[in-house]
Amino acid sequence: MGNQEKLHQMRQQAHNAGIQGNSKMTEAQLREALRKVGKGENPQMAKHQAGR
C-alpha cells in the first residue's frame, strides 16, 4: 500500500471517529488522535492535543 493510500485511509478513519477537519494533520498526528479516541477521549480534544 502506498503512502498516499495509507494516509487517505487514516483520514477516513479519523472522519469516521468524529475527528473533523483532519486534512492538514500529519500521519503522526492522525495516529495519535485516533489512539486517544480509541481510549475514549473526545474526538476534537484528541485532535487538539495531537496537533501540539
Residue 1's pLDDT band (cuts 50, 70, 90): low
Report if pTM > 0.85: yes
Cell of 51: 496537533
Cell of 43: 474526538
| CB-CB contact of 23 with 31 (8 Å) | no
- Would you kindly state where each structural domain of the chain is located, as residue ranges? 3-50
| CB-CB contact of 46 with 19 (8 Å) | yes
Kindly report, residue by residue over 10-50, the tens digit of the pLDDT. 999 999 999 999 999 999 999 999 999 999 999 999 999 99
